[in-house]
Each structure stands twice: as structure tokens, then as C-alpha cells.
Amino acid sequence: MPLFFILSGMVASLSRERNTALYAWKFIKRRFRQLALPFFIWGLIFTPLVFKQSHGIYDYSLMAISLLKHPDEGLWFLIVLFCIQIYYYIACLIGNLLKRFNMKFSGDIIGMLVVLSVLTIVTRYIGTSQYISLQYTLMFFVGCFILKFRILDNAFINAILLLIFAIIVPYYDFISSPTIFRIFTGIFASLPIIHICKVTAESSERVSPFLNFGRHSLEIYATHYCIILGFKQGIRIESLSPIALCLLLFIISCVLCYLITQFSSILCKNKYFAMFLYGK
């Protein structure tokens, strides 16, 4: 997920200049259609149908309430990204205000720091919530900085990041690793991958399959969720070494991504499927 949120931050920063108070409501409506609407559609209609979790009006209403309280029961990353997009817009508004005081360069940075500070305080008093995800908000903001300061253009920095990742990844654990360690591991792993894809795109006249996957990332993330949940109970990974696990997941992921992009491209030919399922 770090790569997903870092890329989302990079994409969001491309339209930074349009983030003004005048377009705030239009921005919220557009992001609601792109992110929140698919979250509710997949969570309240398709996920229950696939897993037979709903058998009547009463059960269905309980599941709707449960989905709002616990977004991780559905496509949680969509609603988390929707919230983060709102936080980013607020940071941009703060940056716009500071630019009036000749703080053009540091305005956005201060705005993001203010937002992160407020979220930290809120989390401390009300507890953790997926609607207020500090780690993914930070990764999103990292994506904004990457594009703003063109970090990916420096091959030496990417080599250093890849070296750091190779050193720390043996100590990574999905369950017991501290949150801050997981955040930096995700960042160090994601940036070299983005750099490699960028170099591949610039040096090749053909569109790489991996770049094509990136263009359909939302479709892949949304559709694969049901498939993964359907198999997770039968997959045992304790006996696999980290290298074997990575290779196995890479092969499975490539096959799934290809099949999902083909399937979603057919669905998206219908404008209603495209809008409700993938926010297009």
C-alpha cells in the first residue's frame, strides 16, 4: 500500500495550482465520485454478494453501519485516500494563505506539517481511526515532495534508497515491526520501483505491461480485493522463505493484474459500470 499512496500523492501534486478555495466544493464532489462512491458500491453491494454476508434487509442494514464504523471490511484504501485528499487540499489552502506573506516555497510544506500535527493531536485524544491515517497521509505527502523536488531524477539518491531498503528489509515483520519502521521501509522500497518504471517509460517506445498496470491501478486494487479475500483462508505462507514468498507473490500479482485490466476494460465500456465501480 505505500506505493499506492505515494503514487497518489505524486498525481495529486500535478494539479496543485487548482487547489484553491474557489474550487473546493468541486474538488470534493469529484473525489467523492472517484473514491468514496466505489468504496460504498463495492462494500455494500458486491462484497456481500460474493461472500454471502447479507441475507436480508436487516442483515444488510447492519452491514452498512458496520462498514462505516470499520472501513477495513471493504475497500478501505479508497475511503482512506478520499480523506487524505481532503487533508491535502486543506494543506494547500494553508499554503495559498502563506504565499501572500512571501512564503511561496515553504508555504505548502508548512501547510502539510500543520495538517499532520492536527491529525496527530486528534488521534491522541480520540484514538486511531482509518479515517485519520497518519502513516498513509505521510506517505501521500512524501509523494507530493518527490514530484515537487524531482527526487526521482537523481539516480544516485535512488541507488542509496535501494541500498538502505536491502539492509533493513531482513528485519521487517508484518506484525511486530513498529509503525515508523514500516513507513520508512515502504518508502525506501517504493521510490526505486517508481524510478525504474520512469526510466523504462522514457527509454522504451512500447508501453510496458507494468506501466499499463499503473494506469489501471484503481481497477486492480478494487477488483483484486474480492479475489484475495476469497483465497486468504487457504494460503499458508509461514513455511516460505522471504525470497520464495516475494517470487511467488510477484508471479501471482502479474497474472492477476493482467486478467483484471482486461476484465475492467470490458466493464468500463459501460459508463455506469465505469462510474459506480471505478469512479471514472
pLDDT tens profile 248-271? 777 877 788 888 888 888 888 888
> What is the model's pTM?
0.78
Give the pLDDT band (50/70/90) at residue 150. confident
- Per-residue model confidence (pLDDT) at position 200: 64
The 3-state DSSP class for residue 34 equals helix
Mean pLDDT (the chain) is: 77
DSSP state of 207: P
User: For every residue of 239-273, which 3-state class applies, written as one string?
Assistant: CCCHHHHHHHHHHHHHHHHHHHHHHHHHHCCCHHH
SS3 26: helix
Q: What pLDDT is attached to residue 139?
A: 85
Residue 197, classified by CB atoms within 10 Å of its CB into exposed (0-12), middle (13-18) or buried (19+), is middle
Cell of 189: 522500497
Secondary structure (DSSP) of 134-188: HHHHHHHHHHHHHHHHTGGG-HHHHHHHHHHHHHHGGG--TTTS-HHHHHHHHHH
Residue 235 class from Cβ within 10 Å (0-12 exposed, 13-18 middle, 19+ buried)? exposed
Closest among 189, 83, 177 to 136, alpha carbons compared: 83
